[in-house]
Chain A
Amino acid sequence: MAIAIINDLLTNVDWSEISDASLDTLFMLGFSVFFSTIIGIPIGLVLFLTSRGRLLQNGPIYNVLSFIINVLRSIPFIILLIVMIPVTTMLLGTSLGAKGTIPPLVVGAFPFFARLVENALKEIDNGIFHMAESCGATTWQIIWHILLPEILPSVIASITVTAIALVSYTAMAGAVGGGGLGDLAIRYGYQRFQTDVMLITVVLMVVLVQVIQMFGDLLVRWLRKK
């Protein structure tokens, strides 16, 4: 009975298409978060370590890297999607579909994530570095045994923030043939005036964001409690 009423209200909704689109969104999100993280952490580390007064202080490297990050961060994502088309085609053979959106998503997100990592590292007390140096630790050991474990909770929190930003990026990627829930919302909800489809996709994205935030918060709380 209840299901019948809902189906009457949502006449245009094709549930199998919704579930395909949801899977596409999760696919885009999963890979882009993964790559943004594994690219962003080393870059955040390099930014931190080469900055003034740090272990590998190096003005030129820091300035160039910092400039590139700032440039990437200042390009509007919609422009980045277009600019990245040739690069993506070169890398993956196509710039279309869920797969084709991953490179622009990563390029859009990792600079932001790298800055978050850099900031997390700046929060570490200077005394920790004195301690590590006094123990005769090498730079690699400091990174591996001290910096990475110490920033883990902050990194998880940063991944959460980045993942949520990426949820809306994936929706925007729908505009250039990216697929996923955003694509569905634009093609049916906007172009064909099927408000019910739009509504469902928005609800699903809200749920997705909530779940990511909740899971991230739980993980951070667990790590900080230790």
Chain B
Amino acid sequence: MIKVKNLYKSYRNQGKTQQVLNDINFEVPAGQVFGIIGKSGAGKSTLIKCLNLLERPDSGEIIIDGIDLTKITSNELRVQRQQIGVIFQHFNLLNSKTIFDNVALPLILHGNHDKAQIKAAVQEMLQLVGLEDFANKYPASLSGGQKQRVGIARALITKPKLLLSDEATSALDPQTTASILDLLLEINRKLGITIALITHELEVVRKICDKVAVIDGGRIIELGNAVDVLLHPREALTRKLIVEEETDKYLENVQQFYQFEKNANRHLLLLSFVGETTYQPLLSIVAKEANVEFSILRGELGRIKDTPFGQLLVEFEGGEDGLSLAKSVMTRLGVHYETIY
């Protein structure tokens, strides 16, 4: 659905050229939710604007549904943009128009003036986002979450194949964020629409993304399935950005604390398991087979989109042999481990 190849973008600012995007490459298959996560200033905002060519890249290809947007005329581009819905951090609703007219706007901009058709389409969309009673209200009387629902209804009314989300939940409180993410997920499943989103919130990636790209300094530093990237980040920077903050802090504390009692018989491991293995009695199998003792210092079970995962900080006791046996058992069982010491 989306194919981005060798994308470069720079801004000229007072004679200085600043490279904002540097050799960006990725592909998103139809129907997937693709997340781009990064700190502010990493270039993610520019990247999502490039995807519907609100920002024109210096070079590279942006192929949406088989059409390279960088190679078509501005009139063709207008038509293509109608296939791409966008939702925004600050909603961008028109205060002078009712919710109904806000949602209907894209249809009118595309030259559809069939009132009955517009009415039916708007009602369908308002129902989808749960705002069917708000048609005649004005944006000023809505809460942030409701405004974003209107934004989503507006983005979807042209039945686009692709939805771009520009920090859609960043201006919302955690509870509202969760409900908007649920809505996006529901839309993704119900309508089969591909979603590309940018965010700085880990929660967003974890809850709805199938694939994720970590962007820093204008480059994609890590790209892969959300489960893999979130649980086993390869790059130090990624790690800093996405590893469970709590776990990370905890690790720091533990490492300081345990320095006194370090000995060859005790080993601290961070175990990660995904999918069905999450529900197996892993630790007791390992303990029996390798004849080691263990104690869980910290643990977390959760989901990354649909995939259950667990992450445990475990201390094993039982000598070098026992430990290497334990490690091989874990590898056999499909548990990923990282030796802290």
Q: Give bound CA distance, A152 to B94, whole Å.
A: 12
Q: Look across to chain B and name the residue whose beta carbon is closest to the beta carbon of A129.
A: B92
Q: Is the CB of B94 within 8 A of A136?
A: no
Q: Is the CB of B78 within 8 A of A125?
A: no
Is A130 an interface residue when CB atoms closer than 8 A count as contact?
yes
Q: A130-B54, A149-B97, A226-B138 are in contact. Are A135 and B105 (CB under 8 A)?
A: yes
Number of A interface residues in the complex (CB < 8 A) = 21
Which of the segments A14-22, A100-108, A137-145 contacts the partner chain?
A: A137-145
Q: Give bound CA distance, A152 to B108, whole Å.
A: 20
| Chain A positions 123 through 138: 1 when the CB is less than 8 Å from some CB of chain B, otherwise 0 | 0010110111111111
Is A26 an interface residue when CB atoms closer than 8 A count as contact?
no
Is B110 an interface residue when CB atoms closer than 8 A count as contact?
yes
Question: CB < 8 Å: which of B88, B92, B109 contacts A136?
Answer: B109
**Chain A residues positioned under 8 Å from B84 (CB to CB):** 134
Q: Is the CB of B88 within 8 A of A127?
A: yes
Question: CB < 8 Å: which of A127, A132, A136, A152 contacts B96?
Answer: A152
Least Cβ distance of B226 to chain A in Å? 26
Q: Is the CB of A131 within 8 A of B97?
A: no
Q: Is the CB of A136 within 8 A of B90?
A: no
Least Cβ distance of B275 to chain A in Å? 37
Is A217 an interface residue when CB atoms closer than 8 A count as contact?
no
| Chain B positions 182 through 200: 1 when the CB is less than 8 Å from some CB of chain A, otherwise 0 | 0000000000000000000
Nearest first, the 3 closest Cβ-Cβ pairs linking A and B are A136-B78, A136-B81, A131-B92
* Residues of chain B at the chain A interface (Cβ within 8 Å): 49, 52, 54, 77-82, 84, 86, 88, 90-92, 94-98, 105-106, 108-110, 138, 164
Q: List 24 A-B contacts (CB under 8 A).
A: A125-B90, A125-B92, A127-B88, A127-B91, A127-B92, A128-B92, A130-B49, A131-B92, A134-B164, A135-B106, A135-B109, A135-B110, A136-B79, A136-B80, A136-B109, A137-B78, A141-B109, A145-B108, A145-B109, A150-B96, A153-B96, A223-B96, A226-B96, A226-B138
